Structure 1
Amino acid sequence: MKIAIVGAGLIGRLLALSLHRQAEFKVSLFDKDTKLAHNSAAYAAAGLLTPLGESLHCEENIVAMGFESLSLWPSLLASLDEHTFFQQTGTIMVSHEQDKGDYLRFTRHLQHHYPDQKQHSLNRTQLTELEPELGRSFTQGLYLPQEGQIGNRRLLVALRKQLEQEGIDWLSETLVTEIKTSTHESSISYTAKGADQQSQTFDLVLDCRGTGANIKNANYHCAPLTDLRSVRGELFQLFAPDVHLSRPIRLMHPRYQLYIAPKEKGFYVVGATEIESDDSGNMTVRSAMELLSAAYSVHPGFAEANIRQHISQSRPAFSDNQPQIIVQDTLIQINGLFRHGFLISPVVLQQVLAVVSNKVSGKVQTLPYEHLLAVQTLTPQNTLQPYNT
């Protein structure tokens, strides 16, 4: 069976590798970006695996998928030859005195909605024992021991190397210009760099284009998702040898939650901003000032940090900020992972693999995460239509 995967971001790479390893499938992977994926949302991320940290701004099913995915990540990473940074040593939530009201609101939210999940209030002494360099700036904190983080860029590299090593048919720098679907097969037309347009027919097409599938980026012949929007995210990568934090830190703020995610060898990712915009231009002065000043307020060692990179990228989101798996004939569209890509991708992966299995077998078997992530099946009568202009 021939399967095309359009989009080689995080979920596209995970699906490509999983399906390629099943002997019955011949997989082709298409992406308009290079194999380095510098234009993907996954590249411009922190790799936080923090379901409780996100819980104030997302639905309970996202939190549940996050916890389930935390249990799935180790086996996924073990299937790769290349090392990927992963830890599950918890996160710490802190706030300055003027933002204590937001901090207390968050702790009450967790106690009310997630009383069975581990959460520990820390005084200054306990905070200093856990993270010695936080006690100088904060008198209290909330420790969430089940949370973790993953090396997002290292994972993209590891997946690239694994796919190349295992001989995946990967057409990078290739723009898909048309997707036609029918009951028995789908065809895609595409233009590779410096080549004329070509077409291929597949038994299944998996669309993982992210924001590339919204109505502004995909023409009417390329299966646009009309309810899909772009949400801009911005972050800094800093080299801070004078800072020694061992786990992600979140700082409460009236307008956002700033996060500081330690990477390896003295590097940190600092981010928070979430802007309703599809503008992929340079970071704004306001965002830069807010992020860097907040980081400095957490640890004065960031004052001497080197700015190695500042990056902005758009994340795909539907109007309800929920991920969707949409099946129409032989086309399966996976999108809307929003700011939760690394948090929930293992669950999304298993759900899509089950949908593919049902398609191949012709049987309707219960999906593993139906209670968390519903699959929408479209017919010609209820196909999404473009916005009226």
Structure 2
Amino acid sequence: MAKPDISRVTLVGAGVAGLTIATELVSRGIIPQIIDRAPEPGPQSCSWWAGGMLAPYCESESAEEPVVRLGSKAADWWQKHTQLVHRKGTLVLAMPRDRAELRRFAQLTSAFQPVNEAQINALEPDLENRFTQGLYYADEAHLAPRHAIQTLRQQLAEKGVHFTVDDADIKALATEGTVIDCRGTKARPDVQGLRGVKGEMLILKCPELQFQRPIRLLHPRIPLYIVPRGDGVFMLGATQIESAASSHPT
């Protein structure tokens, strides 16, 4: 197999995949160009709508092994390149009637500490006396995705990476060097079986609450999570809906 031509590397897509790959290339002395339909990060990117939970152990409830193995390195990577990571862990809770969900979640995951009411109160005082049992994943973290991808883009531009606004023709570009397709769901016409996973979220402003970490509330049908964004702003997330028609979470 012929070695790829790294004298000219083009990334198509300036979402989280394109920006992280470009960051790794630059760290190895390769300055790529990046082509995207949009001039700036925004709602057209799936990562614009992400929860920002760096939670490989909680995700292992339903995710495959590489998510846990590689995800366990994610917090260190984002901290190195953005300095935006909050290492406060994740708190998983359930109402008394849903205690079976808490046991099920514990059986499917790892790297947690069972916590009682007093420990929950100490971790999140604004939850005082509302929950008697939970799971605490101390090694997990979170960040604000929109701020993180904007930071990566700015750093890449400062290091000489050129961003071009264009609706790129992947096949045409491939004749002029190495092309890395980072379009995500926009690549569906060219990648058989590629699908989106639709999510639902609310941005809430509630300055009287002072949660320090993501909190997952288990439920047999509609589990919820809330992620602090700072300054009394929270992202409330709910369902994940498999849909071939989904282009990004909303």
Same fold (TM over 0.5): yes
Q: Which of 154, 167, 177 is 1:175 aligned to?
A: 167
Q: Is the 8 A contact 1:103 1:252 kept in 2?
A: yes
Q: Cα distance, 1:201 vs. partner?
A: 4.4
Partner of 2:186: 212
The 1:104–1:21 alpha-carbon spacing in structure 2 relative to 1, beyond 3 Å, is closer
Q: Indicate the SS of the match to 1:247.
A: coil
Counterparts of residues 269-348 of structure 1 (less than 5 Å)? 269-279=235-245, 313-314=248-249
Partner of 1:34: 39
Counterparts of residues 153-232 of structure 1 (less than 5 Å)? 153-172=146-165, 174-176=166-168, 178-180=169-171, 187-188=172-173, 201-215=175-189, 224-232=190-198
Distance in structure 1 (CA, Å) of the matches to 2:86 and 2:8:
37
Q: Indicate the SS of the match to 1:57.
A: coil
Q: Cα distance, 1:32 vs. partner?
A: 1.2
Q: Indicate the SS of the match to 2:238.
A: strand
Instruction: Give aligned-pair identity as a percent.
Output: 34
Q: Cα distance, 1:255 vs. partner?
A: 2.1
* Residue 23 (structure 2) pairs with residue 43 (structure 1): no
Q: Cα distance, 1:51 vs. partner?
A: 1.1
Partner of 1:52: 57
* Residue 63 (structure 2) pairs with residue 71 (structure 1): no
* Matching residue's letter, 1:267: V
Q: Indicate the SS of the match to 1:206.
A: strand
Q: Is the 8 A contact 1:41 1:314 kept in 2?
A: yes
Let me know the Cα RMSD of the aligned residues.
2.1
Structure 2 unaligned blocks of 5 or more: 1-6
Q: Runs of 4 or more off by more than 6 Å in structure 1?
A: none
Distance in structure 2 (CA, Å) of the matches to 1:42 and 1:239:
21
Distance in structure 1 (CA, Å) of the matches to 2:65 and 2:9:
33
Give CA-to-partner distance per residue, 1:293-328, whole Å, 9 cap, x none. Answer: xxxxxxxxxxxxxxxxxxx9249xxxxxxxxxxxxx
Q: Is the 8 A contact 1:4 1:202 kept in 2?
A: no
Partner of 2:200: 234
Q: Is the 8 A contact 1:250 1:259 kept in 2?
A: yes
Q: Which of 124, 131, 149 is 1:138 aligned to?
A: 131
TM-score (ref. length: structure 1) = 0.59
Q: Cα distance, 1:29 vs. partner?
A: 0.6
Q: Is the 8 A contact 1:211 1:314 kept in 2?
A: no
Q: Indicate the SS of the match to 1:56.
A: coil
Q: Cα distance, 1:41 vs. partner?
A: 0.8
Structure 1 unaligned blocks of 5 or more: 78-83, 181-186, 189-199, 216-223, 281-311, 316-389
